[in-house]
Amino acid sequence: MNLHERRGITPPGSVMLLLALLLIGGGGLMAYRASEKPAQPNMAIGIGLVIVGFIVARGLMTVSPGEAKVIQFLGRYTGTVRHQGLRWANPFATKRTVSIRIRSTEIPVLKVNDADGNPIEVAAVVIWQVADTARALFEVDNFIAFVAAQTETAVRHIAGSYPYDSHGKGLALRDNADEITRRMSEEIAQRVQAAGVYIVESRLTHLAFAPEIAQSMLQRQQANAVVAARYRIVEGAVGMVQLALAKLTEQRIVDLDPQTKAAMVSNLLVVLCGDRGTQPVIQAGTATP
């Protein structure tokens, strides 16, 4: 089955309502007058007009804002009515209401393994809307449950395809939320395409390590942060030492032999890389025996 929504041709309901009232009123009046006189044909015609009027009235339907009417006659899809107000369709056709408002589906907290094999907890919300009413009703059994199931599958797949934290070496669930949610929206859209659903937006609403490893992961993150900070400090200290030696040599403030230069480099690195403040030692002169 490969149905697509098409426009249902329906006349204005006000015109058909007026016609139904005329048929019912005229037929009822004719039948009433025929009951006073032995004119059986007029009686039958009047009753027939009343019946026809009720049949015409049965085809009336109201289309509310944010809704659409899917018309099905003798098991065959005939069209969708999105025009708001009072409309009229085949009285013997089935008319099903489908909401075309924007909806949201929340995926509760799921426990999955990320790309590194670490158990994490993830939850998401997806904003969606029915774009093709024919496919939503006839391509899948229950399009609301279908969207929920496919969204959960996509969230599990995305969460398992990327690490929680990549430490700057690629996409990560924690550090690249915008890119991850964009890819998640694209995957959900592909999965729910069969149901005629348009994905407006999707977002991760919860992301954390599973409780059983949360403490150890926190310690690892803290250790990584310390190592990264130390790396930056050492990198900056080396640059400052190079600059100091270059300035001393350029301005000829003091002539440094290799041994003195090595001692100076060592002292500067200790001062710049140490955790605690250093205590300066002032050398006033050179001791002689």
Going from the C-alpha of 42 to that of each of 24, 27, 29, 36, the distances in angstroms are 14, 9, 10, 11
Q: How far apart are the first and last CA of the chain?
A: 105
Question: Average pLDDT for residues 227-240, to the nearest whole number?
Answer: 71
- Check residue 146 and give its pLDDT: 94
Residue among 99, 90, 84, 80 at smallest CA distance from 60: 90
Asked if pLDDT for residue 278 goes beyond 60, the answer is no
Alpha carbon distance 156, 158 (integer Å): 6
Question: Average pLDDT for residues 207-222, to the nearest whole number?
Answer: 69
Residue among 88, 31, 80 at smallest CA distance from 56: 88
Alpha carbon distance 227, 266 (integer Å): 21
144 close to 129: Cβ distance less than 8 angstroms: no
23-60 pLDDT tens trace: 889 888 888 777 776 656 778 888 889 999 999 999 99
- Check residue 172 and give its pLDDT: 83
Residue among 38, 31, 82 at smallest CA distance from 52: 31
- Check residue 97 and give its pLDDT: 93
Taking each helix axis from N to C end, the angle separating 211-250 and 258-273, rounded to the nearest 10 degrees, works out to: 140
126-174 pLDDT tens trace: 999 999 999 999 999 899 999 999 999 999 999 888 888 776 677 888 8
- Check residue 288 and give its pLDDT: 46
- Check residue 40 and give its pLDDT: 62
pLDDT level of residue 284 (50, 70, 90 thresholds):
very low
267 contacts: CB under 8 Å, gap ≥ 6: none
Residue given tokens 């993830």 in the structure block: 122
Question: Average pLDDT for residues 221-241, to the nearest whole number?
Answer: 70
3-state SS class at 115: coil
**b (16+ CB within 10 A) / e for 70-79:** bbbeeeebbb
Percent of the chain with pLDDT strictly greater than 90: 38
User: Sign of the C-alpha dihedral, residues 214, 175, 181, 178?
Assistant: positive
**Is residue 221 packed enough to be buried (19+ CB in 10 Å), middle (13-18) or exposed (0-12)?**
middle
66-120 pLDDT tens trace: 999 999 999 899 999 998 899 999 999 999 999 999 999 999 999 988 888 888 8
**b (16+ CB within 10 A) / e for 80-97:** bbeeeebbbbbeebebee
Going from the C-alpha of 216 to that of each of 117, 118, 285, the distances in angstroms are 14, 11, 54
Alpha carbon distance 247, 244 (integer Å): 5
196 close to 140: Cβ distance less than 8 angstroms: no
Asked if pLDDT for residue 221 goes beyond 50, the answer is yes
Alpha carbon distance 58, 27 (integer Å): 17
- Check residue 21 and give its pLDDT: 92
3-state SS class at 243: helix
- Check residue 186 and give its pLDDT: 92
Residue given tokens 């069969």 in the structure block: 194
- Check residue 287 and give its pLDDT: 46
pLDDT level of residue 289 (50, 70, 90 thresholds):
very low
More confident position, 185 or 223? 185
In terms of pTM, does the model score above 0.75? no
More confident position, 150 or 5? 150
